[in-house]
């Protein structure tokens, strides 16, 4: 099938160099790009709604005669205009208005307008509707289609989008771009029909169905978009596997030596996943594997087993963590496990400076350090490895895809390192199919034996005093507790302040307790000292910000209080809660919420209360908050679909995979065209 010659948007009427530039900045270069710039929603200007039939909250076109236009001096000065038609009355309210405007709205004048009606005590009202005065008898000139509202950017108005898209539709009718999914045996509208429908739905189109994203035209395009997205990930995978990786033979002796030091046996699930990874590593095709395992399932040991296989073959391993606290904890675990086997560790974070940093870089470059652990500082350009064979990323959703890939460029000459991604955010199958199609997936679906499920309760923050007493009682009986402060603001400074204030108040209320404080603004050495004191039991209560969200492991801590849990995502709360329930003690988590809770907020917290299963919780989070929140912000760029949405289009995913795999093995020009059509410039990374 031929792919169409591109037609630049500059060939359209009304697109001069400035407009062309604005469109280009927005990622729109060709006429075809305009067609795939789809409306966010629609307005119905195809009919005039009688004033008596205006519905609360619904946008509608109206027409009527002005009966009165007066300035009202209520709470705010406003121009109030009463309009009447045969059926009823409508009050228009303008808070910004000119004298000329008031002049023009003389009683007796007919106007036509459009706006969102509110039904109040005095009948229907509209604030700041669009309107125009009808002079003389006008023929009815309502719109012939629903009016699309496009996503937009500065400097391009809706009217301009409509003009551009109308021309693009005319081009569509003339040229009929190839239906790249023709032959996929799809029922329902074809590509041209679907595009026409969505840019200009007929007056009888169901707005409700369009809003639900379930119109056949939307389904047709969503399917294609998801296929395109899948293709771009498959291509990413192919590009990652275009160079060979080192073949790393299993090293059972080393692994046995490590196990000899362990106070426990690996679980069956850990063994299985270690086996899956081991087979990947022994192959010259670079491994691209995601390990999902609920909080506390023991991913670190799995990572250590993988590391041993690489190091045992004379290659270096990089392990990257999203926070210093987590990196530090990995450092401690790996030091305890690997150093007895004679393996040297290097440690690099954003705070590594000066001569010490230089020395570390040298051990890495010389290949002396077999195991290199750090934060995103490992991405820095001057970090060079001698023989990097395996890259491991913990808590992947905190990093972007780009970052992960930039490390794989640090491989030994001509060899691509294997990649292992560890995530504790259980990702619903639907999402992982879409977001991680470039990765194979292993699941650690078993917790180490003897873990106690965490009992979670919801308590209104008005009963905070009772919670403080409960903490006091728990600590008095030898347990340790976390008190987690959350804030909506991303600002470290504000978070730190809130945590400091809380710690202060708790110290006052509980003078007998040894209370520590840890937050993101502290010096790493201080942070480490506090964490160590908590771990050793010297501190019994730890006040913390969400810096302890990932990875922190203190088995004796069995109570956690989370303030304002309604502000966090479920996955994040589940992560936090995973800090308790690590020992043999029965553990508790108190969600100290601020009332009143919204309905959705209550449902979310209840999901957490009712389940300890990260997968169940993630599914609920996806339903209640959408994919962006579940995957974390860094991944949301990937999920910025035009028509497709999840979970609404989940039912398409099986088809998507099947079609994508078939296309992938077919004509590369079609794959190119699909990816370009739907993802445009957003997938530059696909061409690493």
Binding site residues, Mg ion, CB under 5 A: 551
How far apart are CB 655 and ligand ADP at their closest, in Å?
Answer: 34
Of 262 and 473, the one with the shorter C-beta distance to ligand ADP is: 262
Task: Verify binding: residue 264, ligand ADP, rule CB under 6 A.
Answer: yes
Cis geometry, peptide bond prior to residue 231 (ω within 30 degrees of 0) = no
From CA 649, how far away is CA 214, in angstroms rounded? 8
Helix (H), strand (E), coil (C) string for 600-651: HHHHHHHHHHHCCCHHHHHHHHHHHHCHHHHHCHHHHHHHCCCCCCCCCCHH
Positions 579 through 608 that interact with ligand ADP (CB under 6 A)? 582
Structure-block tokens of residue 531: 């964490």
**Interface of this chain with ligand ADP, residues 428 to 447, rule: CB under 6 A:** none
Given a contact cutoff of 8 angstroms between Cβ atoms, the answer to whether 631 and 431 are in contact is yes
In whole angstroms, the minimum distance from the beta carbon of 46 to ligand ADP comes to: 56
424 binds ligand ADP (CB under 6 A): yes
Of residues 327 and 530, the one with the C-beta less far from Mg ion: 327
Q: Identify what 267 binds: ligand ADP, Mg ion, none; CB under 5 to 8 Å per kind.
A: ligand ADP
Neighbours of 77 (CB within 10 A): 11
Among candidate residues 57, 61, 58, the one with its CA nearest the CA of residue 49: 61
Total binding residues toward ligand ADP, as defined by CB under 6 A: 18
Which strand (E) or helix (H) includes residue 590? strand 587-593
3-state DSSP of 19-32: HHHHHHHCCCCEHH
293 interacts with ligand ADP by CB under 6 A: yes
Question: Of 289 and 299, which has the nearer Cβ to ligand ADP?
Answer: 299
Q: If DSSP codes are grouped into helix, strand and coil, which group holds residue 89?
A: strand
Residue 120 CB-half CA count within 13 A? 12
**244 Cα distance to chain centroid:** 32
Residue 62, CA distances (Å) to 57, 105, 148, 426, 516 in order: 14, 15, 18, 50, 64
Per partner kind, with CB cut-offs from 5 to 8 A, the member of ligand ADP, Mg ion, none near residue 295 is ligand ADP
Nearer to ligand ADP, 80 or 345 (CB): 345
Shortest Cβ 304–ligand ADP spacing (Å)? 9
The answer to whether residue 297 forms part of the interface with ligand ADP (CB under 6 A) is yes
> What is the closest distance, in whole angstroms, from the C-beta atom of residue 264 to ligand ADP in the complex?
4
Q: Which is nearer to ligand ADP, 237 or 299 (CB)?
A: 299
Distances (CA, A) of 428 to 242, 288, 611, 621: 29, 19, 15, 10
Six-digit token string for 575: 């992560």
Q: Could you say whether residue 266 binds ligand ADP (CB under 6 A)?
A: yes
Per-residue x/- track, 371-410, ligand ADP (CB under 6 A): ----------------------------------------
- Residue 299 binds to ligand ADP (criterion: CB under 6 A): yes
Interaction mask 523-562, ligand ADP, x per CB under 6 A: ----------------------------x-x---------
| Token pair 């969400």: residue | 546
Residue of this chain nearest to Mg ion (CB atom):
551
Assess 423 for contact with ligand ADP (CB under 6 A): no
Minimum distance from residue 291 beta carbon to ligand ADP (Å): 9
- Residue 210: helix, strand or coil by DSSP? helix
Q: What is the DSSP string of 311-366?
A: HTTT-EEEEE-SSHHHHHHHHHHHHHHHGGGT--EEEE-TT--HHHHHHHHHHHHT
Minimum distance between the CB of residue 599 and Mg ion, rounded to whole angstroms? 33
- Interaction between residue 425 and ligand ADP (CB under 6 A): no
If contact means CB under 5 to 8 A according to the sort of partner, which of ligand ADP, Mg ion, none does residue 270 touch?
Answer: ligand ADP
Give whichever of 222 and 542 is closer to ligand ADP, judged by the CB atom: 542
Smallest distance from Mg ion to CB 386, Å: 28
Tokens 């988590």 -> residue: 589
Which of 301, 348, 373, 653 touches ligand ADP by CB under 6 A?
301
Q: Is 496 in the site for ligand ADP (CB under 6 A)?
A: no
Site membership for ligand ADP, residue 300 (CB under 6 A): yes
Q: Of 129 and 551, which has the nearer Cβ to Mg ion?
A: 551
Query: Which residue, 339, 382, 376, is CA-closest to 364?
Result: 382
Which is closer to ligand ADP, CB of 271 or CB of 623? 271
- Residue 495 tokens read as 């978070």
* Residues making contact with ligand ADP (CB under 6 A): 264-267, 270, 293, 295-301, 424, 448, 551, 553, 582
């Amino acid at each position: 099938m031929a792919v169409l010659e591109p037609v630049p948007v500059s060939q359209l009427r009304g697109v001069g160099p400035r407009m062309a530039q604005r469109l280009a900045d927005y990622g729109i270069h060709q006429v075809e790009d305009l067609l795939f710039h789809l409306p966010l929603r629609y307005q119905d200007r195809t009919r005039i709604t009688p004033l008596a039939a205006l519905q609360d909250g619904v946008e509608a076109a109206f027409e009527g005669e002005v009966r009165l236009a007066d300035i009202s001096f209520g709470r705010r000065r406003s121009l109030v205009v009463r309009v009447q038609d045969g059926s009823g009355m409508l009050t228009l309210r303008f808070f910004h208005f000119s004298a000329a405007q008031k002049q023009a709205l003389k009683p007796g004048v007919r106007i036509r307008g459009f706006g969102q009606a509110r039904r109040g005590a005095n009948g229907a009202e509209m604030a700041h509707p669009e309107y125009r005065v009808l002079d003389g008898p006008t023929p009815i000139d309502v719109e012939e289609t629903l009016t699309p509202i496009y996503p937009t950017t500065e400097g391009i108005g809706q009217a301009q989008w409509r003009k551009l898209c109308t021309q693009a539709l005319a081009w569509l009718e003339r040229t009929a771009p190839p239906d790249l999914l023709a032959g996929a045996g799809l029922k329902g509208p074809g590509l041209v029909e679907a595009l026409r429908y969505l840019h200009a739905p007929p007056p009888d189109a169901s707005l409700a169905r369009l809003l639900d994203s379930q119109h056949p035209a939307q389904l047709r395009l969503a399917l294609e978009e998801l296929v395109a997205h899948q293709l771009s990930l498959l291509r990413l995978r192919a590009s990652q596997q275009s160079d060979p990786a080192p073949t790393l033979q299993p090293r059972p002796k080393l692994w046995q030596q490590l196990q000899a030091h362990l106070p426990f046996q690996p679980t069956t699930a850990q063994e299985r996943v270690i086996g899956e990874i081991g087979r990947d590593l022994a192959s010259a095709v670079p491994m691209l594997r995601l390990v999902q395992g609920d909080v506390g399932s023991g991913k670190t040991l799995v990572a250590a087993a993988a590391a041993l296989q690489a190091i045992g073959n004379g290659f270096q391993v990089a392990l990257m963590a999203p926070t210093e606290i987590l990196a530090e904890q990995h450092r401690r675990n790996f030091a305890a496990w690997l150093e007895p086997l004679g393996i040297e560790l290097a440690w690099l974070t954003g705070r590594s400076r000066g001569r010490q940093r230089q020395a570390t870089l040298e051990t890495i470059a010389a290949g002396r350090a077999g195991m290199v652990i750090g934060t995103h500082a490992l991405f820095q350009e001057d970090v060079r490895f001698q023989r990097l064979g395996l890259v491991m990323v913990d808590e992947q959703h905190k990093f972007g895809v780009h970052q992960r890939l930039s490390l794989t460029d640090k491989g030994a000459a001509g060899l691509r390192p294997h990649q292992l991604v560890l995530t504790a955010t259980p990702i619903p199958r639907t999402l992982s199919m879409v977001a991680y199609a470039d990765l194979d997936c292993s699941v650690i679906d078993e917790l180490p034996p003897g873990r106690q499920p965490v009992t979670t309760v919801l308590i209104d923050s008005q009963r905070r005093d009772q919670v403080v007493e409960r903490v006091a009682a728990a600590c008095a009986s030898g347990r340790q507790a976390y008190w987690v402060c959350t804030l909506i603001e991303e600002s470290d400074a504000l978070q730190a302040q809130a945590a400091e204030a809380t710690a202060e108040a708790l110290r006052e209320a509980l003078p007998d307790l040894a209370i520590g404080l840890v937050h993101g603004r502290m010096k790493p050495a201080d942070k480490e000292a506090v964490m160590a004191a908590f771990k050793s039991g010297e501190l019994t209560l730890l006040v913390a910000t969400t810096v302890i969200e990932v990875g922190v492991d203190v088995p004796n801590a069995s109570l956690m209080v989370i303030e304002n849990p309604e502000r966090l995502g479920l996955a994040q709360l589940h992560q936090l809660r995973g800090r308790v329930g690590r020992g043999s003690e029965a553990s508790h988590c108190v969600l100290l919420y601020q009332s009143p809770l919204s309905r959705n907020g209550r449902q979310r917290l209840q999901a957490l209360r009712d389940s300890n299963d990260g997968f169940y919780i993630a599914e609920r989070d996806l339903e209640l908050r959408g994919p962006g929140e579940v995957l974390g912000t860094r991944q949301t760029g990937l999920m910025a679909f035009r028509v497709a949405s999840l979970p609404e289009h989940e039912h398409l995913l099986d088809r998507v995979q099947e079609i994508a795999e078939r296309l992938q093995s077919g004509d590369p020009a079609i794959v190119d065209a699909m990816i370009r059509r739907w993802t445009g410039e957003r997938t530059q990374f696909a061409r690493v």
